[in-house]
Structure 1
Amino acid sequence: MTSLSKICLHWTAGANSPCDTDLKAYHYCVDKYGKIFAGTHRPEDNLNCYDGNYAMHCGAGNTGCIGLSVCGMAGFTSDTKQTKYPLTKKQIEVLCCLTAYLSIKYGILIFEKSVFTHYEFDKRRAKQKREGKIDITYLHYLPHLSADSVGKYLRQKISWYRDKIKANKYKFIKKGDYYEFILVA
């Protein structure tokens, strides 16, 4: 039986809040305020992708893979680096905290082969199978980071949050129709 062994990080290429399409494609989406919305599918649905009932977030890489997305970046291109819906620092912090939480829950270690951006996943594919994915390659509040260094930056943050969560410094809670992390004093 396949296990959940990977986490792929995305941006939705939409507005700063999740729509129905986003919630069907990803297990969790983070809006611009850092609220976490559960997708239609549970991570465990991606243990078996042959039944068609899973989050289809990572072409040819969905089996055993949890899909997380920050909402935003509609209209973004690598050339102009412009969008009406930039990712916020709060979103990225929450994405990293959520990734750390899920990595602990499912026993996923933080390495480039197990926690990666969609861009990094696409780059590892054979040239003829690449789809030109650019998520997540740019953070407006850190414009000096190259596309190839964003994934490493995120994994460092995820590792930091992982240590804090293991030390019971952050707690994952449900608030109405969304989730959030709170700092425990």
Structure 2
Amino acid sequence: MKISTRDLQARVAALGFSPGPIDGLWGPRTQQAQRAAMAARKVGSVAELFHCSGLHRIHLHWTAGASGVIELERQHYHLLIGQDARAYAGALKPEANADCTDGVYAAHTRAMNTGAIGVALDAMAGALETPFHPGPYPVTPEQVALLADEVADLCLTYDIPVTPFSVLTHAEVQPTLGVWQRRKWDITWLPGMKAPGKPREVGDSLRARISSALEARAA
């Protein structure tokens, strides 16, 4: 498993240990957080901090698509939630993104695909950020509900904590992980909102729903 410093920083942060800024730079705070995480998990190697699949994050998107999941969308995401409130598998399994050096992976997040599962709401074709208009295919409440359930299952399967460092929207990737994303604004709007909100606040709202879905499974 190839683990970058940035991915290690995000993982230990997701496990509750602060490495300082997620900047890809190795330093004493990152080293201390790594050691603390390894001690807490009682593991003897950095690799053991991660799921054996090599997957450790989930990135949430919308496709900017219309009604009906198309093949091009399936190539870019591992799971899609259609306007019909049904889940559709992508062309590749999430494990394809454990190692992207072979070129066979779902390219859903610029320069941050390795180890990351891409999940997308098929919606928002024709939407405008400013002045805001959701277009003729807005995200629906039913899509959000199913997204929460499906992501909860992925979190259980791949040992991914529901935190801003491990389950985050595309709009959160740049401010959280420090990698430029060409001003992506998915997902900053949800049903019931009058206009797009701050990435972290909208991400927190989605994470709350995912956490509730996980709690329901444990009940």
Aligned-pair identity in percent equals: 35
**Correspondences of 1:51-66 after superposition (within 5 Å):** 51-66=102-117
CA distance in 2, matches of 1:152, 1:48: 28
Deviation at 1:54, TM superposition (A): 0.7
Consecutive aligned runs of 4 or more in structure 1 exceeding 6 Å deviation: none
Contact 1:17 1:72 in 2 (8 A): no
- Give the direction of change, closer, same or farther, for the CA distance of 1:130–1:39 in structure 2 (3 Å limit): closer
Which structure has the greater CA radius of gyration?
Answer: 2
2:218 to 166, 176, 179: 166
CA distance in 1, matches of 2:194, 2:207: 18
Residue of structure 2 equivalent to 1:177:
none
1:103 aligns with 2:155: yes
Q: Looking at both structures, which has the greater relative contact order when contacts are Cα pairs under 8 Å and sequence separation is at least 6?
A: 1
- Give the structure with the larger strand fraction: 1
Deviation at 1:16, TM superposition (A): 3.0
1:31 aligns with 2:82: yes
Question: What per-residue deviation string (whole Å, max 9, x for no partner) do you get for residues 43-82 of structure 1?
Answer: 0000010101111101111101000000010121221322
Residue of structure 2 equivalent to 1:94:
146
Residue of structure 2 equivalent to 1:46:
97
Unmatched runs of 5 consecutive residues or more in structure 1? 168-185
Whichever residue aligns with residue 85 of structure 1, its letter is Y
1:136 aligns with 2:187: yes
Residue of structure 1 equivalent to 2:70:
19
- Give the direction of change, closer, same or farther, for the CA distance of 1:19–1:9 in structure 2 (3 Å limit): same
- Give the direction of change, closer, same or farther, for the CA distance of 1:130–1:28 in structure 2 (3 Å limit): closer
Residue of structure 1 equivalent to 2:37:
none
CA distance in 2, matches of 1:50, 1:142: 40
SS at match of 1:76: coil
Question: What per-residue deviation string (whole Å, max 9, x for no partner) do you get for residues 100-146 of structure 1?
Answer: 1100011000000000000000333558x341100000113233772
CA distance in 1, matches of 2:110, 2:196: 26
Normalising by structure 1, we get a TM-score of 0.84
1:122 aligns with 2:174: yes
CA distance in 1, matches of 2:124, 2:192: 13
Residue of structure 2 equivalent to 1:4:
55
Output the aligned Cα RMSD. Answer: 1.6
SS at match of 1:61: coil
Residue of structure 2 equivalent to 1:174:
none
Normalising by structure 2, we get a TM-score of 0.72
Aligned length: 166
SS at match of 2:119: strand
